[in-house]
Amino acid sequence: MSNSMKGMSLITLEEFSPEQVQALLSQAIELKRKKRARIFPRSLADRNFCMIFQRPSCRTRTAFAIAAADEGAQAHAMSPQEIRFGSGESIKDIARVLGRMFDGIAIRAYDTPLIEEVAEHAGVPVWNALTEQHHPTQALADFMTLQENGIALSGAKMAYVGEGKANVVTSLMVAAAKLGVELRVVTPKGHHPEPSLVDRLLGWRHNDRTKIVVTSDMREGLLGADAVYADMWVPMEGNWDIPAMARDFRGYQINREAMAMTENPRALFLHCMPAQHNLQTEFARKHPEAIEATDEVFDGPLSRAIDQAENRMHTIKALMVSTV
């Protein structure tokens, strides 16, 4: 069976086989090495990509732009006001037109079905740059970061501490199921992922070492972890009862004591960012009770959060090079 990813869209990562996910990570590590050596294969010369971000982004949008530029392609940012998905023009028509102009389309949207519909009609690869439900390019960077730190993914133990229904952890679960990772989702009661989703992912049986454990017990979730992954407790967009969310997550902050619960002195700290880890944001000054990690851990020697952010670009570049 061919392992080629040419023409494939990335919507949830479920579309990609375990071998293809692993190939993307290995390729990203190689592309990072080449970039460090100032070697740019420019394998996407003269290609044009469209970036439609209906929601704010720092990392993902710049990752697409720089990945394209490094490979000799142009990334064109289109405002959602210009692309009137479904309001002034049907999604199908817009997708067909963009597919004639561009060689690939990155979309950050609210709902996944919009991206699925564009992918169905565009005729070129479409990449999910985050929806409410999924964040697949983030998961690629996260597991690349473990791999480049010498952690074998099959059998690796990662503890995600945060909202169990969030897009980030959903994509981590999908990737973990493909890669044989033991993922512990550590989250308060009422914030657990949908059991049907966990059951479905475990039903794939891609890899006997895959485990997805959902627990509200920090000690159970963190013991033996190779990496502890924090996420904001409150999404940056939307009207949330922030004090109530912070009350739910009290005791789930990643600090020195939490890292010690791993009983692994080499356990890495990961964060998808944006992060609240000090009082340097308006959000944290207003809601100091909702700070999910301490500065000591976030800026500590075992934190790989900034590497992870950089790896967004290398993994997205691997995705573009492999699918276009």
**Smallest distance from ligand CP to CB 261, Å:** 25
Asked if 169 interacts with ligand CP (CB under 6 A), we say no
Quick one: 64 or 85, whose CB is closer to ligand CP? 64
Residues 115-154 interacting with ligand CP (rule: CB under 6 A): 130, 138
Radius of gyration of the chain (CA): 19
Asked if 170 interacts with ligand CP (CB under 6 A), we say no
Quick one: 130 or 319, whose CB is closer to ligand CP? 130
Asked if 215 interacts with ligand CP (CB under 6 A), we say no
Geometric angle at alpha carbon 118, from 120 and 47, rounded to 5°: 100
Quick one: 122 or 273, whose CB is closer to ligand CP? 273
AA identity, residue 10: L
Asked if 66 interacts with ligand CP (CB under 6 A), we say no
Q: Which long-range contacts (CB under 8 A, 24 or more apart) does 150-154 make?
A: 151/226, 151/227, 151/268, 153/22, 153/25, 153/179, 153/180, 153/181, 154/179, 154/180, 154/181, 154/207, 154/209
DSSP H or E segment with residue 167: helix 167-179
Q: What does DSSP say about strands 157-161 and 227-230: parallel, antiparallel, or unpaired? A: parallel
Asked if 253 interacts with ligand CP (CB under 6 A), we say no
Tell me which residue has tokens 């009862």. 241
Quick one: 51 or 95, whose CB is closer to ligand CP? 51
What is residue 150's DSSP assignment? T
Q: How far apart are CA 262 and CA 226, in angstroms?
A: 8
Asked if 20 interacts with ligand CP (CB under 6 A), we say no
**Smallest distance from ligand CP to CB 224, Å:** 27
Among 49, 116, 51, residue whose Cα is nearest residue 79? 51
Q: What does DSSP say about strands 126-128 and 182-186: parallel, antiparallel, or unpaired? A: unpaired
Q: How far apart are CA 189 and CA 246, in angstroms?
A: 13
Asked if 101 interacts with ligand CP (CB under 6 A), we say no
Quick one: 129 or 222, whose CB is closer to ligand CP? 129
Quick one: 47 or 59, whose CB is closer to ligand CP? 59
Stretch in the footprint of ligand CP (CB under 6 A) among 56-64, 117-125, 242-250, 259-267: 56-64
Query: Pick from 4, 26, 39, 58: which binds ligand CP (CB under 6 A)?
Result: 58
Query: Pick from 83, 218, 273, 297: which binds ligand CP (CB under 6 A)?
Result: 273
Query: Pick from 94, 115, 230, 272: which binds ligand CP (CB under 6 A)?
Result: 272
Quick one: 59 or 178, whose CB is closer to ligand CP? 59
Among 145, 187, 149, 150, residue whose Cα is nearest residue 170? 187
Binding site for ligand CP (CB under 6 A): 57-60, 130, 138, 272-273
